[in-house]
Structures are given as structure tokens and as C-alpha cells.
Structure 1
Amino acid sequence: MKFLSYIIPLALTVFGALIPINALNSKTIFGKTFLTDEQKIKVKYFNTILLAFIIATAVAYFTFAIKVNATNEFQVTSKDISSSLVWGIAIFIIFLMITSPVVKWIDNFFIKDHIKYKVTQIEQIGDVYIIRMHDKDTCICSKDPNAEFLQDSEYILIAMQEIYEKRILEGKIPKPPKSFWSKLLDL
């Protein structure tokens, strides 16, 4: 019982820290365009940890259920619980390590297009595509929608205030071709 008095505050603190990250995760595609790199990293790790936790919990539950049903006894022993817990922790660690590369490979090999937002008629510049956010007040833009995939790209910093006043169009842009090794190694 004393164990629970330590676990409950810890769990509440962890869940309380994760709520703002989940709020970032629930934004629309357009809203996610205006996330800073730091916010995108937080969302990526939150999703990775959450997926690994869900899979590990399911494996631990099914391992426990199989052990209990295989013995045809409805008594739960500490050996059953500990072996299921070990399986859950092992699966959690494995999926924590492989989830991000697998998602990146799926993105590189199977998703052929990406969504970009075009800001029209910026004074002295013309039309530009929003690449990502530099900080909450400055947007990194480019005339080339595939600038983030190319080595020698020219970027333009534009204040968010200027973007608020302009028309923004959504476009589905094909990704530039990459070699097999570039896709595999995410170069």
C-alpha cells in the first residue's frame, strides 16, 4: 500500500507534464506548420513513447493472460506478474528504439507528396512557401516548396505579422526523387 503512495503522485506529475504536449499533437495540419522545431521534437518523442507504451502494455497483458489460461488456474502468482512485466519492459525498450526509424522509413518510401502552404504576394519577394517556424514570431520560407529536401536551398525569414495579413493557399507538392540509400539512411 505504501508503494501506491509513491506511484500515484509520480503518475499524476508525468501525465500533467504530457498534457501540453498532447495539445500540440491535436493541432490541425495547418496548425502544425507553425510549430517550432522544439515543439515538433516534443510531439515526435511523445508519440514514440506513447506508441511503445501501448504496444508494451498489450504484450504484457496478453503474456499474462496466456500464462494464466495455460495453467488453467485462476490464481495469479508473482512469477506470472513478474514475467509479464519483464516482457512488457523489454518490448517497450525495443519499440522505443525502432519506432522513429520505422516511421521515417515509411515516410521516405511510401509517402510521395507533402503538404505546403503558399503565402501570396509578400512585398518585394512575391509568393513563398512556409517551410517551418524559426521561433514564434518568425517563419522560415522559401520560393521552392521542396527546399527542406534539397542541399542548396535559399531561405527567407518573414515575420509572422506579415503572413497574418496575406492569403495562404494549401498545396500538395510531390517530393523530389531520392536514391534508395538516401531514403534508407534519411539523408
Structure 2
Amino acid sequence: MAALLSSIAFLVGTFVSGKALISKSEIEQVFLTREKKIKMYYYTLLVLSGLIAFLIGDLYILWHIFINDKTVETVNWNFAIALTLVVFICCLVTLGTLAKLIQTFFIKEHYKYKVQLINIGEVYIIGMMNEEICICSANPNAEFVREDLESILIKLDDLIHKPLTREKIEIPQKTTWQKIIQLNH
């Protein structure tokens, strides 16, 4: 019984913290650390997989009730539950890869926030090293280019009172071969 309560408490805590991450605004998500972005990604993947699985399971049940003229009692519930679980597991495995494929081959631009710093000039916020340090670069495509680029570490306190500008930036063009190799990383 204690294990069940612990599991339920763990799932509720994970759900609440995941919900809090995805409900942040776009500007708040820029300042999330890598660990929080990973948690947000897996939470979104888990929820989306669950929604798709329940939708497929419900469609199976509704199909048998309304199209095949069966009653709720005569629907094969074991198959409906197994179908839901199989779809959930398949979605967990494939949705992340599908999203990466779409991002690699079809997304042509991304958005970055730019800030003007007195001693440094214009820099783009690339990510967060930890809760207090921002990784910035003069190149807005620093995360897409694997060359040695100059990164600048800036305290978050130094950015708080500076105006941020959101810019739409084109992703550097790559050959199809480079895109395929990028999928494996």
C-alpha cells in the first residue's frame, strides 16, 4: 500500500512540475536550464503519447458501438486496452524521432532573443548554463554550427533591466547528407 501511495505521489509531482514547465511563456522558456528543457520535452512527449493512445482506444470502442452496432458490454475491452497500450508505447518511441525529422528537414527559421550590452555589443541568448548564468553569442546560429564560436557567459542579473528583442533568424543551409548525420546526434 505504501508503494502505491508513493507511486501516486511521484506521478502527481511529476505531472504538476511538468505542467508548470510547459505553461511558461516563450520568454520564460528561453531562461530554462537544459535539464528543465529536457523535463519539459519528455513531459510533452508523455502527455501527447497518452492523448493519442486514448484517442485511438476511444475510436476503436466508438467504432464498434456505432458502426458495428455492438453494445458496451460486447465490445472487446481487452483488445481496446491492449491497443491503447501498444499505441502509447509506439508513440513514445516514434514521436520524438518524428519531431526531430520535421525540425531538421522542414523548419527553415528559428527565433532568438537579442540584447544590447554596453561593453560587449549585441548578443543573442543561446541558453542557460545554470539558474544564474546565460550563454550568449554574437552568432544567432551558434547552436546549429559546430565550429569554434565565441560564447559569452553573462550573469542573469545583468540582463534583467535590458530590453530584449525577438528576431526571426534563418537556419544555416545544410546538405541532405549533413541533415541525415545531424539526426544521429
TM-score (norm 1): 0.86
1:76 to 65, 73, 76: 73
Counterpart check, 1:110 vs 2:106: yes
Q: SS at the partner of 1:130?
A: strand
- CA drift of 1:71 comes to 5.3
Q: Report percent identity of matched pairs.
A: 33
Question: What amino acid maps onto 2:158 in structure 1?
Answer: E
Asked if 1 retains the 8 angstrom alpha-carbon contact of 2:64 and 2:70, the reply is no
Provide, for residues 100-156 of structure 1, a one-character-per-residue CA deviation record: whole Å limited to 9, x for no partner. 111111112222111111110242x22211000011100000110000001112211
**How large is the RMSD of aligned CA atoms in angstroms?**
2.3
Counterpart check, 1:129 vs 2:124: yes
2:95 to 79, 95, 99: 99
- CA drift of 1:87 comes to 0.6
Q: SS at the partner of 2:139?
A: coil
Aligned to 1:148: 143
- CA drift of 1:68 comes to 4.0
Q: SS at the partner of 1:171?
A: strand
Structure 2: unaligned runs, 5 residues or longer: none
Greater alpha carbon shift after TM alignment, 87-96 vs 10-19: 10-19
Counterpart check, 1:40 vs 2:31: no
CA distance in 2, matches of 1:70, 1:85: 19
Q: SS at the partner of 2:124?
A: strand
CA distance in 1, matches of 2:4, 2:79: 21
TM-score (norm 2): 0.87
Residues 7 and 85 of structure 1: CA distance in aligned 2, closer, same or farther (over 3 Å): farther
CA distance in 2, matches of 1:122, 1:29: 25
Question: What amino acid maps onto 2:41 in structure 1?
Answer: K
- CA drift of 1:10 comes to 5.0
CA distance in 1, matches of 2:69, 2:169: 57
Q: How many residues align?
A: 181
Counterpart check, 1:57 vs 2:54: yes
Question: What amino acid maps onto 1:74 in structure 2?
Answer: T
Question: What amino acid maps onto 2:58 in structure 1?
Answer: Y
Asked if 2 retains the 8 angstrom alpha-carbon contact of 1:130 and 1:142, the reply is yes
CA distance in 2, matches of 1:8, 1:109: 45
CA distance in 2, matches of 1:88, 1:182: 37
Structure 1: unaligned runs, 5 residues or longer: 1-5
1:178 to 170, 174, 178: 174
- CA drift of 1:84 comes to 0.5
Provide, for residues 56-112 of structure 1, a one-character-per-residue CA deviation record: whole Å limited to 9, x for no partner. 1011112223334465332515x7111001111111111110101111111122221
Asked if 2 retains the 8 angstrom alpha-carbon contact of 1:131 and 1:148, the reply is yes
Residues 57 and 9 of structure 1: CA distance in aligned 2, closer, same or farther (over 3 Å): farther
Residues 126 and 54 of structure 1: CA distance in aligned 2, closer, same or farther (over 3 Å): same
Residues 41 and 75 of structure 1: CA distance in aligned 2, closer, same or farther (over 3 Å): closer
